């Protein structure tokens, strides 16, 4: 990876780290090391970097806040690209233009300050804008698909284009980007509505209280592990099978919320995946339902 580092330096691509712990990049706090982690300064430099990596056939992945990723315990022999520098945000009336590296929780707070309603569901989702759009993150019967008007993207042939909402194929916990992972979200235009600040703050406060009471926020996790099957709750199915509290190594099915797997300290990625597969198998055997994992599996090949 010496040549990659040299290219990053020579072309002023941005800050970088070598042999960096992936545990520091994901909310599960598991994973091996990545050969090179880089933070491109802007779209122009991102394109330069991608051209180089593609030409050299070097493995790479663009990541957000790592709140919905399960990296394996193996080292990632390649380059992870983090778009933290893509963090510009402007509010014009009820319209927000925001970079893909901006925090979704922070954006929810900024919208509240401006008495804008529509992002209350996002006040507890620890993802970046880009990652949240990729996963179509949501809660409380709302998601990014309801508020994203358009997205500026980088195509696989490194052209910058804009996709509007209907082209983004938002459905429950999925989007155009999951089916087309070589497209990279650069910036989103979000459309909200005017509301009453006190009412918005109260909704967020009530939901925070509920999350603290029902979710194991004191431990590393990636939120809900499984998508809810139609007309059912994954957590309820898991709880009814008596799987709450089950351990694999230092990973545990939360005793507080059965659809959370938590790292009790020192869990491996394999521990977490074993629990996921055990739950899937038990639910399939007892209910005939194939639970779908919300998290993206990375570097397991």
Catalytic residue list: 173, 224, 294
**Cα separation of 2 and 245, whole Å?**
45
3 state SS of 234: helix
**Cα separation of 276 and 103, whole Å?**
27
Task: Tell me the chain's radius of gyration from C-alpha atoms.
Answer: 20
138-143 long-range CB contacts below 8 Å, 24 or more apart?
A: 138/172, 138/173, 139/207, 140/207, 142/118, 143/170, 143/172, 143/173
Beta bridge partners of 160: 154
3 state SS of 172: coil
3 state SS of 149: strand
The pair of structure tokens assigned to 222 is 């990636």
CA distances for 264 relative to 74, 231, 255, 279, angstroms: 20, 31, 12, 18
**What are the two backbone dihedrals, phi and then psi, of residue 39, each rounded to the nearest 5 degrees?**
-115, 90
3 state SS of 179: helix
The pair of structure tokens assigned to 297 is 């599996």
For residue 54, the surrounding DSSP H or E stretch is: helix 43-55
């Amino acid at each position: 990876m010496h040549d990659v580092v040299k290219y990053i330096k020579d072309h002023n691509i941005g800050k970088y780290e070598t042999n960096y712990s992936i545990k520091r990049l994901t909310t599960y706090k598991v994973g091996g090391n990545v050969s090179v982690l880089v933070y491109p300064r802007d779209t122009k430099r991102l394109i330069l970097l991608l051209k180089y990596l593609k030409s050299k056939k070097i493995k790479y992945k663009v990541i957000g806040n790592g709140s919905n990723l399960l990296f394996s315990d193996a080292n990632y022999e390649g380059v992870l690209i983090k778009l933290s520098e893509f963090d510009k945000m402007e509010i014009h009336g009820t319209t927000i233009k925001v970079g893909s590296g901006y925090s979704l929780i922070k954006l929810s707070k900024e919208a509240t300050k401006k008495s804008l309603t529509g992002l209350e569901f996002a006040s507890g989702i620890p993802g970046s804008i880009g990652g949240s759009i990729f996963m179509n993150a949501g809660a409380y019967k709302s998601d990014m698909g309801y508020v994203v008007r358009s997205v500026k993207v980088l195509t696989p042939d490194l052209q910058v284009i804009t996709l509007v909402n209907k082209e983004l194929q938002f459905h429950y916990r999925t989007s155009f980007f999951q089916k087309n992972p070589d497209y990279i979200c650069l910036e989103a235009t979000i459309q909200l509505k005017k509301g009453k600040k006190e009412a918005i703050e109260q909704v967020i406060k009530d939901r925070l209280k509920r999350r603290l009471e029902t979710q194991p926020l004191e431990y590393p996790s990636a939120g809900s592990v499984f998508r809810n099957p139609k007309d059912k709750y994954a957590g309820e199915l898991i709880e009814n099978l008596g799987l709450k509290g089950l351990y694999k190594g230092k990973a545990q099915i939360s005793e507080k919320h059965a659809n959370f797997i938590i790292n009790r300290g020192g869990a491996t990625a394999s521990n977490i995946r074993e629990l996921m597969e055990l739950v899937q198998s038990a639910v399939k055997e007892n209910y005939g339902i194939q639970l779908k994992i919300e998290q993206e599996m990375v570097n397991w090949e």
